Amino acid sequence: MRIIWVLNKVIFYLGVIPFLISCQMIPVQPATPTYLTLDTAIRSLSYNLIKQLQQKQWPIITPAALVINPFVAVESGQVVQTSLDIEALFLNEIPKHFTQYQISRLTPESLKTAHYLINGFIKSEGNLNEPGKKYYQITASILDLTHYTIVASSKMGIVSQGLNYQPTPSYEDNPMYIKDELLDNLISMIESPVGTHVNMNAYATITTKALLVEAQAAYDKSQYELAYRLFKNIIQQPHGKVMEAYGGLYSSAFKLGKLNEAEENFAHMVVLGVKVGNLPVKLLFQPNLTEFLAEPSLRQQYTIWLKQISRYFKKHQQQCVNIIGHTSQYGIYEYNKRLSKRRAEKIQSLMQSTFAGIIHRSKTIGKGPDETIVGTIPDSAENAIDRRVEFRVVAC
């Protein structure tokens, strides 16, 4: 009996020890993210995601194809330079440690053969009262494209002197920063718990996003004629009439000198923005002033934008608008509140040349630095979007 008892113990430990070892190999997500450098955080993030995928992957596909959707800055919906850095790290790290996976950028072609999709976003947390340090969170997930189920999710904290939030050219030239259903669906999908089944609306978001990534890549390479054709194709798709597509078509048409067509596409953006009650137009100002950024091309475009917004409210008399001015974080708070109000009043005044009645259908509001998007100090090209005026639609 003693021998049988010993043998049972040996068998038990032989079974448990490998299990414990295998459990230790799986990275445990901390309840509160540890703040790491960008490179270290992305290496850890990619490792966590793929180890989770390996646990969930059934049947085992070899080689398995992953595609990565460029990560967005959640505050503005834009793809920024740090997004490209993250993408490059993923493309380098995963093949290095997981040879059974092939990873590439999301495009219409790569999506056709992909088994899994990596999505993610970056969110700024400010400086947390530590001068010289800025904190961010990066959240990512993997979607199984066969069963439309979230199979992995991970979150990491990043500490840096400041990530590069400069938008890629296609986003920088878009007349509005992106706050629409496409972005909402994407963020909702990324934040969904593992095991969540994704509905077909989210899948439509993926196919549209793949087309957008292709068109934006052409624009970023200054291939404006190609970008124009690609963006035009997107808005002809069943789910393609989105702010991002019309913005890309506007910018491409403007670059090609198709000014009337550019103006028509901006008018479509106004309609889409009004539907969600917000026109986050990039009417940007010089630091500490009520003067627009000193670029002739931008000032020409601002004239187009204000004319189309004014025409919309002239035509739709049941709708009114709050014209909201903003400033960066730099400077004295009370002064910035007054400055932001003056910026809003300037826009209201300019709109009267197209629609004199806007003075009775709008209210000017100064938010100062209360709703910054980038939130950095001092004033620079990076935080120009904080020095803006935008519109929120209200009932009259």
What is the bridge-based pairing of β-strands 35-36 and 149-160? parallel
Predicted TM-score (pTM) of this structure: 0.85
Q: How confident is the model at residue 194 (pLDDT cuts 50, 70, 90)?
A: very high
Residue 265 has pLDDT above 50, yes or no: yes
Average pLDDT, the chain: 88
pLDDT at 20 over 50: no
> What tokens were used for 360?
């009775």
CA distance 367 to 375: 14
Question: What would the pLDDT profile of 346-370 be if each residue is shown by its tens digit?
Answer: 999 999 999 999 999 999 999 999 9
**Res 213: pLDDT:** 97
- C-alpha distances in Å from residue 360, one per residue of 24, 313, 321: 66, 11, 10
Residues 6+ positions from 70 with CB-CB distance below 8 Å: 79, 83, 84, 87, 105, 106, 213
Q: 279 and 391 in contact (C-beta within 8 Å)?
A: yes
Using the structure block, give the residue that is written with the tokens 């009114």. 320
Domains of the chain: 28-172 (3.40.50), 186-395 (3.30.1330.60)
| 26-40, 41-55, 202-216: which is most confident | 41-55
For residue 201, the model assigns a pLDDT of: 67
328-351 pLDDT per residue, tens: 999 999 999 999 999 999 999 999
Element (H, E) at 124: strand 116-126
Distance CA 305, CA 308 (A): 5
For position 25, what pLDDT does the model report?
38
- Please list, in sequence order, all residues whose beta carbon lies within 8 angstroms of the beta carbon of residue 65, skipping any fewer than 6 positions away: 101, 102, 103, 104, 110, 113, 114, 115, 116
